[in-house]
Structure 1
Amino acid sequence: METADHHPRVSERRLNMRLMAYWQDLRGTGPHAPIERFDSEAVVDLWPHCFTIVPAPDPDKATFVHVGDMIAADSGLTTVGLVVSDIPADTLLAKALHLVAEVLKVKYPIVDSGEFTDHLGRPSLYRSILLPLTDGRGSVGLLVGGARCKVLRAEGQPSA
């Protein structure tokens, strides 16, 4: 959706594949990827399309540590002080979050994709990934997510 020089276009598949490969590198030969090994600089070109949340006993109260500029813009949101319950259902970020409970349960990344109508009423396709990072006790202490969307061309309109 954007092609600003400082945020090169990142395809949906490439985003998911690169984040998954990074998670697998962090995990090494163990069952989980530890939080302490995570470094956003390792995926700096993807970071505008990513978010991180700290899980909470009430999933709606999980807090965002980071919401990238591009995913916030694609969701029509500002990023100050967000909790999961603040996210409108018709946004890319909401689509990327809907499998949080499952990722927390299985402690393994989940890739998702589908179609939705965005906050501006446009039909869109999305792809997302949620990556669990564990603390020293094996509990998920941070979720890293990435998502991209593509607005579908309306019938009768020329492609750009």
Structure 2
Amino acid sequence: MSYEQRLTVRLVDIWEQLRHERPPPPYEQWNSAKISDLWQKCIAMRVEPHQRTASELVVRTLFVGQQLNVIMPTLRAEECYQMHILDHDMKKLFSPITSVVQSQKSIAHDGTFVSKNNTLVKYRCCFLPFSDSKKYTEGGANVHYIVAGFSWIHM
């Protein structure tokens, strides 16, 4: 199994253990120390509907791993991003977010893009949905947080 697959498999395995075949687990149960070797390739974000257009999502980054600077140099922690105004590459990397929120399931995603310095980047990532513990019930919960892990190689 390649490193890229191990990253996504490990993240999904940890998420599944938290979930126990229930709705998305509360974000407060997430423990980044369990993946300290991978955490710098991850993003933690809060997702919420846009105030004016509920069908549009706003992503607020809570944590952006330092190693992600290589493929997402414009992404910063504690920033707010509207999905429809992201640049093309960021939009491609973040394209699963809406599906994750709607399905409440983890999603693995891979693809390629050309980086700012004109090199082809092949990436693999997974997006893990989490609920807000204040709004969590055994019967269901909306997705309010997402943890995403990325691996990549320059071609």
- Scaled by the length of structure 2, the TM-score of the pair is 0.81
Question: Alignment partner for residue 131 of structure 1, among 128, 136, 155?
Answer: 128
Match status 1:41 vs 2:33: yes
**Equivalents in 1 of 2:71, 2:106: separation in Å?**
22
Gaps of 5+ in 2: 51-55
Using the TM superposition, name which of 74-83 and 15-24 deviates more: 74-83
**Equivalents in 1 of 2:92, 2:117: separation in Å?**
15
Question: Structure 1 24/64 Cα, relative in aligned 2: closer, same or farther at 3 Å?
Answer: same
Q: Provide the aligned C-alpha RMSD in A.
A: 2.0
Question: How far apart are 1:72 and its partner, in Å?
Answer: 2.4
The residue correspondences of 1:98-117 to structure 2 (distance < 5 A) are: 98-117=95-114
- Scaled by the length of structure 1, the TM-score of the pair is 0.78
Partner of 2:53: none
Secondary structure at 2:49 match in 1: coil
Question: Structure 1 106/77 Cα, relative in aligned 2: closer, same or farther at 3 Å?
Answer: same
If asked which structure has higher relative contact order (CA below 8 Å, sep 6+), I would say 2
**Equivalents in 1 of 2:105, 2:87: separation in Å?**
26
Question: Structure 1 76/36 Cα, relative in aligned 2: closer, same or farther at 3 Å?
Answer: closer
Question: How far apart are 1:60 and its partner, in Å?
Answer: 5.0
- Output one character per residue of 1:51-110: Cα deviation in whole Å (capped at 9) or x when no partner: 01101102553200000001123222362542234753235xx43311100000000000
Gaps of 5+ in 1: 1-9, 153-160
The residue correspondences of 1:146-157 to structure 2 (distance < 5 A) are: 146-152=149-155
Contact 1:125 1:151 in 2 (8 A): yes
State percent identity of aligned pairs.
Answer: 23
**Equivalents in 1 of 2:89, 2:21: separation in Å?**
38
The residue correspondences of 1:50-129 to structure 2 (distance < 5 A) are: 50-58=42-50, 59-77=56-74, 79-85=76-82, 87-91=86-90, 94-129=91-126
Contact 2:40 2:64 in 1 (8 A): yes
- Large movers: runs of 4+ above 3 Å: 85-88
**Equivalents in 2 of 1:120, 1:139: separation in Å?**
38
